[in-house]
Amino acid sequence: MKLLPITLRMDNYGFLDKGGTWMKRLLLAATLTSLLAGCTDAPEAEKAEPQKLTFKQDHQTIQIIPLYDAYQSYVDATLKEPTENGALFEKHVLATKHKWIEKEKLTDTYTDRRILDIPTDNAEELNKTIVYLKKHQDAIQQQIKKSLQTSIDALPRTDKLTVFVAPYNVHNPAEIKRHGGVTGFASGTDMFTLYLAKGFSTDTLANAVAHEYHHTVAFKSNTHDSMFNGIMLEGEADMFAAQVYPKGKSEATEPLLDHTLENLLTQINNHNVDAYDLRYGNYDKDIPPLAQYTLGYMIMTDFLQKNPDLPVAKWTEMPTTDILEKTGYAKKLTIR
């Protein structure tokens, strides 16, 4: 803000007869303070409030909040102080996200399971991703909105929803390619986060939105509190997303070969695998990447073949054990 010369005509205020000189200085100081405060505070306010998109769907408020500025502040800071990488990520990114969660009174049930809210090992590459996402911000938000509207039409919700959008902070080309440049994490019934890489697939984005959206509804009936529920909930979400946006289906929806499936079930039933193995794979145990998604999807495929007329809202709220018992996997998968 440019400061212009100020001329105070004190007689207009009626103060000349009562200490005119002192009052002139007081008013001049107050005016300058106000102007300078405006120059200082405006950019901070603009920086603190990202260009979020808010809309109504079935009387529920839906928000899409980009976290690009928070990540940009983090990148700028860590390039200057690389030894403080972890602390700076917490200060600029996690703190910003937490403020939004508190402000919107969101239910952040699975905070401790976030695996993508981590400091970067390549700030330059992350910076390129941020620049790309900012450039395409409007188009990204509109596509997310469209996918949410389609998902809500297919599976109505009863409360508000907030979607955070962040850069994909994993610099493993194979991992990014496997997910089509998009992944996500639903941490409660009213929020999830999308992570996008440069050049992501728009079909995959639409599918990922539907997948994470399903989690927010399913969490009202089933919790992600065990390996078994994890398998079932990921299978349900993949099934819903495939029904709504089949073009964006990932490799996780491709059925496993018989010998791979048999080995996977044996390893799970013998408690010889953990959540990391089921997501990223384990070469030594012959566990393929995304195994829990694939197994869950295969179970849901079998379930819906046997129950073709059951509406999505009904099977979403069903106990996961009830779904399994109505499939051919009831005796093959023994954990619960």
Give residue 113's pLDDT.
66
pLDDT over 50 (residue 41): no
CA distance 317 to 336: 17
CA distance 150 to 191: 17
Nearest to 114 by CA among 213, 195, 211: 195
Pull the structure tokens for residue 113.
């399971």
Report phi then psi at 246, rounded to 5.
-65, -25
Give residue 170's pLDDT.
73
Residue with tokens 């996500």: 184
Reduced DSSP (H G I as helix, E B as strand, rest coil) percent helix, strand, coil of the chain, to 5: 60, 10, 30
279-329 pLDDT, tens digit each: 989 999 999 999 999 999 999 999 999 999 999 999 999 999 999 999 999
- Alpha helices, DSSP H only, in 198-226? 202-218
197-226: average pLDDT: 94
45-54, 122-131, 150-159, 169-178: least confidently modelled range: 45-54
9 versus 52: which is more confidently predicted? 52
* Crossing angle of the two packed helices 202-218 and 137-154, in degrees rounded to 10: 50
Answer yes or no: are the C-beta atoms of 212 and 201 closer than 8 Å: no
pLDDT over 70 (residue 20): no
3-30: average pLDDT: 38
Give residue 178's pLDDT.
75
Task: List, in order, residues 6 or more apart from 201 with CB less than 8 Å away.
Answer: 180, 181, 182, 248
Task: List, in order, residues 6 or more apart from 190 with CB less than 8 Å away.
Answer: 106, 107, 159, 160, 161, 162, 216
Give residue 51's pLDDT.
86
Answer yes or no: are the C-beta atoms of 211 and 293 closer than 8 Å: no
Q: Which amino acid is at 238?
A: D
User: Strand order of the sheet with strand 60-66?
Assistant: 53-57, 60-66, 161-167, 191-196, 182-188
What's the first-to-final CA gap in the chain, in angstroms?
64
Tell me the pLDDT band of 114, cut-offs 50, 70 and 90.
confident
- Alpha helices, DSSP H only, in 14-67? 20-48
CA distance 315 to 298: 15
Instruction: Give the predicted TM-score (pTM) of the model.
Output: 0.84
Mean pLDDT of the chain: 86
141-172 pLDDT, tens digit each: 999 999 999 999 999 999 999 999 999 987 67
H-helix or E-strand containing 89?
Answer: helix 85-89
255 versus 7: which is more confidently predicted? 255
- Name the β-bridge partners of 61: 56
- Name the β-bridge partners of 183: 195
Q: How far is CA 302 from CA 152, 195, 198, 262, 284, in A?
A: 25, 31, 36, 16, 29
